[in-house]
Structure 1
């Protein structure tokens, strides 16, 4: 299969970001006519959405569209770019739920607004104001994602064909997020199977499968092509989340934009952690119970938990699972009814999504 040129990837990313920039500029014009102070909201959303991110969801949607025979189309790119606003909603709310301080190396939205509150000497609790602002901004981005999709310029019948995938994507990611929160509370039922279910709905479907199906449906894909997209997207999305879990424990903060061991402080019941629980001794389980989820977990505590995860074989087990899932995704492309060049791009994306360091 052909390798996608870096210039092609960069060009698509630039088009996605241009569509987002234009949309957000229009929203700024609308909101600041309501009240000039709403410019703070506009600046925060623009900084968050345009300041980083992998653009995976619109990228998968675009190549799903092209793989099903869709012609290159600026309106379709705009429709797919709307997925970044859905992602912004999920991340803003996720950072509130996890009490995260940073995102992509910058203050999380709730921290940004708490700081704004303190700097301007407003009354009340700065943290409460920051949390309220982040929740509202996340809600705003969720609404804007649908507005951008519907106003993309794609003909109405094609938009309607993709809307089921769009709706399911939003439902499934919220369900996955709740299951993730539940797993941190209902620790007695922690297991690798449960962690994979969380990954399936929090990430696999949302990051890869549903965007591919959305793109395919906008191009009028047949059932065989849509089935191939699911066969590729589900295992790849799960592998992507497992790589995210590994980086959440072992990643370099300079690359990930998150503090070292942040997932350990948050008590994330990932596949990696579940594998460690299943493989460790009673003494090791006691260490996990005592330190996992401790907000004051220091560097020594992170190092101890990392060592335990390695010693139990949980890290090696997770890496094997990533390899298995990635191989399944790539294998599904072999005889898939997908246009050759887009199929090659999807193969390259599978490697990039699972071998990344951030």
Structure 2
């Protein structure tokens, strides 16, 4: 069977054995509670200090929040989503020409995870990932199908970067830092990562993405109307209701370290859906491999300094487990745990 699920003949009538998780790993048929209290922050609030305080509070208590009136036109969000869906519905041969599990490749599509050939069970997803910044250095390597891909996604990449920088500036101000504290090498790399999940005949047996914590600086996610995202909070999985008009903001592990343990970065995963395909667009800001990440305030440091390259190497060696990776860089001043969310 071909690796790229978007090239399979639809509908899929039964779940292939390679995609069925062991009984203790699969989600099962029980209903999950819904996370109705995710903070919703209006970025057009006339009081900037109020916005900053809401962002700080949400980053500390939830590790996740939504923003509305964010300045990105609804038309651009809709166009970008349509282009992404068009890409995954496009010619199989063209998508196959972009297939790669090489993390160094600027633009690639792959299925499940980058370990597809060696993993015991596959996740129910295709993923398209490419670099975005500086735009002129990367756009010529992006997909050419649909024909408007580069024009539409290029505009989207510029606007989502502005949004993430604005949120980071508010975070810095709320922590008593200069607004530009996280500019430059801290936000050097920008990635767009698009997950596409075709309809699954039995979602109780499968997972769309593994549980994980984002290792980068910050993520903004544009969801479609189809549910699937779950966050681990108070030691139970909770459904995150989709809001296609909002961006979901997820502080990454580097913000947890930079804030000296004040911010949380949530463990999350993705469920599959029986009736509809699900496409989501994630945009990530990632520090350069050489930049030193360390707590920004003068309290006793929870973490010692490290380069992002050093951290990411440790993160991948620990099977992308955040607790294991962060424990390697913890000092003895305080114990922290990601189980908060």
Normalising by structure 2, what TM-score? 0.28
Normalising by structure 1, what TM-score? 0.27
Q: Which has the larger radius of gyration?
A: 1
Q: Which has the higher strand share?
A: 2
Q: Which has the higher helix share?
A: 1
